[in-house]
Structure 1
């Protein structure tokens, strides 16, 4: 069965927000990475002003719940609207389940990133469903995973 968590998007203050959440909930970050640490996409380097922005961070809240987040970086920053800056993140147990959930939930919606292999080793995609809710679908293939949640 898939797990569901909330994914928050910030306008440059993700690290500050997550440090605050960590001060309240406790715990440690299993992963925190910046846009500057990721490999170039399509041969394009990350803009200097985006290099220190958070590309992904995870903070376990309980055994069942992980709070995740990032800064809106690069070309996505102008589209960020505070108040609609979250996604529902579904972590599937298999590639087949990921495809089934992605295809079902994205029907009549707007796909922003089709399901594809990522540089961190996951099979991942994003979309807004037909009701305007943002979703992320992820499958962490154990045979391909790097140090990433």
Structure 2
């Protein structure tokens, strides 16, 4: 059975927001990574400001729930607005379940990132459904060791 969490998107202040959430909920970040830690993309050099932005952070807030987030930048930043700055994130138990959920929920919607194997070891994709809700579908392959966004 899949788990569901909320994924928050920020325009450069993700670290500040998650430090605040951590001060309220307590706990520790099992993973926090910056865009500067990513492999190079299309040979493009990113600014130091973008390198320091958060690519992914996770904060467990209960046994069942994690608050997750990242910053945005580049061409994505212009479309970020309060109200569309979150996604429902589903962590599937198998690649087949990820495919089923992704294909079913994205029907008649707009796929922003097709399901594919990622550099961090997950099978991951994103879309906006036909009702305007942003979704992320993720499957963590147990044979991979790195954390997922």
Is the shorter-chain TM-score for this pair beyond 0.5, marking a shared fold? yes
Q: Which runs of 5+ in 1 are unaligned?
A: none
Q: Does structure 1 retain, via aligned residues, the 8 Å contact 2:7–2:69?
A: yes
Deviation readout 1:34-54 (Å, 9 max, x if unpaired): 001111123323333311000
* CA RMSD between the two structures: 1.2
Displacement after TM superposition at 1:76 (Å): 1.0
TM-score of the two chains, using structure 1 as the length reference: 0.96
Aligned mates of 1:148, 1:112 — CA distance in 2: 18
TM-score of the two chains, using structure 2 as the length reference: 0.96
Runs of 4+ in structure 1 deviating by more than 4 angstroms, as ranges, are: none
Deviation readout 1:82-127 (Å, 9 max, x if unpaired): 1220000000000000000000000000000000011100000000
- Tell me what 1:98 maps to: 98
- Tell me what 1:122 maps to: 122
- Tell me what 1:69 maps to: 69
Displacement after TM superposition at 1:146 (Å): 1.5
Aligned residues: 149
Within the alignment, does 1:32 sit opposite 2:32 as a pair? yes
Q: Does structure 2 retain, via aligned residues, the 8 Å contact 1:127–1:136?
A: yes
- Tell me what 1:131 maps to: 131
Aligned mates of 1:66, 1:46 — CA distance in 2: 29
Deviation readout 1:48-83 (Å, 9 max, x if unpaired): 331100000000001100000000123211110112
